Homo-oligomer: A and B are copies of this chain.
Amino acid sequence: MSVTFPRGFRASSLSAGMKPSGKPDLALLVADEACSAAGLFTTNAFAAAPVKLSRKRLSHGLAQAVLANSGQANAGVGTIGDRDATASTAAAAEALGLSPDLVLACSTGVIGEPLHMTELLAAVPGLVEALSDGGGKAFAEAIMTTDTVSKQAKAEYGPYRAGGCAKGVGMIAPDLRLATMLVFVTTDAPVPPSEIGRLATEILEPKFEALTVDACPSTNDTVLLFASGEAGGEPVLPGTSAWDQVAEAVDEVGESLVQQLIADAEGVTHVVIVQVFGAATTRDARVVAKAVAESPLVKAAAFGGDPNPGRILQAIGSSGAEFLPQAVDAAIGDVRVIAGGEIPPSYREDGVELAREEMKKPEIVISVSLGAGPAESRALGCDLSYEYVRINGEYTT
């Protein structure tokens, strides 16, 4: 399981004392050699210091290690943040005997509180000592904040393995802890540095882009992909069957992590999957999928188990996507709720009860067809529950 399933990776974690709970809070993932690596990062203008550092160091498509901590987000602290991100990765690089340029950083936790550097620096040597090729599980557990379970996945296609772990999505704990999503995916396929970015943007980006719990991109969201090449063989290039195998393995790991993340979202009682077809552009498809999945009215309806085509219509209509209203169809499960831009008479006759049954399912699937082109997308969301309001509103008492 997890990031050490593919050959050529070791990982470790320990309790450095950066989290008040005393739980594991510092984790390290290391490849045996410098390897191909790519990252997807938050678009938030207040990107955290580790995001800026990792983005910069990945410009050549190479990395060998990532130091991840939970407890402090290292965001919203000004230049102290940059200094600490540089110093902590330098410490890891030194203990590993690597160039600092090959060490990335990820942080999750309190915004506006500087990294607890004394504890972090003291823990680095022990972290390096603890590295093992079975350390993926420990790594996955140390990056958890309010996650109730750790998220790990693995897949194997042909000669190639992929593994991964993740934390986050709409998890907000006391004291300014924000909803950071961190995702780490590894593979032992020999994907060259020039192509690793493509694997990340084509396979992983749409998957994690589709996730939406509360439409609030964190300052720290990061998805990292590493390819060690330890599976051996020729470099894997796009357009080959080898590429398809790697892509399949990475896709399976990404899909599993996405599903685990949404299932553990805050206060979730129903997962809401919105599939959009027939859009003029992929962007339009995404915009509509997110508009429906992020609508507080649709989310509240999902919580209450109420099919409510008017709210779906409203969300599609205000998305800003291009389409002809009279060409729009939608269904909840397999119950048609919008036909030709209208709520059809058949819906009021016997569709309501059928749709109500669909809304009781743990996974509610809303399909939208825009009739405007060939593009499609999906969004994975969840309902808006009392528990969400409680977690995010009442934790000060």
Binding site for B on A (CB under 8 A): 42-47, 73, 75-78, 110-113, 172, 176, 178-179, 214-219, 295-297, 300-306, 308-311, 313-319, 323, 325-326, 338, 340-343, 347-348, 356, 383-386, 388-390, 392-397
Least Cβ distance of A148 to chain B in Å?
Answer: 19
Q: Contact: B310 with A110, CB < 8 Å?
A: yes
Residue on B nearest A213 in the bound complex, by CB? B296
Residue on B nearest A321 in the bound complex, by CB? B45
Q: Which residues of B contact A395 (CB under 8 A)?
A: 304, 306
Q: Contact: A318 with B389, CB < 8 Å?
A: no
Q: Contact: B112 with A297, CB < 8 Å?
A: no
Q: Which residues of B contact A316 (CB under 8 A)?
A: 45-46
Give 13 new A-B contacts, CB below 8 A, not counting A46-B313, A112-B313, A219-B310.
A45-B317, A47-B317, A111-B309, A112-B343, A112-B347, A215-B295, A216-B315, A217-B318, A219-B314, A296-B296, A300-B392, A301-B393, A304-B396
Residue on B nearest A342 in the bound complex, by CB? B78
Expressed in whole angstroms, the Cα–Cα distance for A218 and B309 within the complex equals: 13
Residues of A contacting B: mostly:
loop
Q: Which residues of B contact A43 (CB under 8 A)?
A: 318
Q: Which residues of B contact A214 (CB under 8 A)?
A: 296-297
Least Cβ distance of A199 to chain B in Å?
Answer: 26
Q: Contact: B76 with A310, CB < 8 Å?
A: yes
Q: Which residues of B contact A302 (CB under 8 A)?
A: 393
Q: Contact: B44 with A317, CB < 8 Å?
A: yes
Q: Contact: B393 with A111, CB < 8 Å?
A: no
Selected contact of A393 from candidates B45, B295, B306, B341, CB within 8 Å: B306
Expressed in whole angstroms, the Cα–Cα distance for A13 and B313 within the complex equals: 30
Least Cβ distance of A302 to chain B in Å?
Answer: 8
Least Cβ distance of A216 to chain B in Å?
Answer: 5
Q: Contact: A342 with B303, CB < 8 Å?
A: no
Least Cβ distance of A93 to chain B in Å?
Answer: 27
Q: Contact: B310 with A343, CB < 8 Å?
A: no
Report the 9 A-B pairs with minimum CB-CB distance, sorted nearest first.
Answer: A112-B343, A304-B393, A111-B310, A300-B392, A46-B317, A44-B317, A300-B393, A303-B393, A176-B310
Least Cβ distance of A228 to chain B in Å?
Answer: 33
Q: Contact: B394 with A389, CB < 8 Å?
A: no
Selected contact of A296 from candidates B219, B314, B392, CB within 8 Å: B392
Q: Contact: B296 with A176, CB < 8 Å?
A: no
Q: Contact: A343 with B111, CB < 8 Å?
A: yes
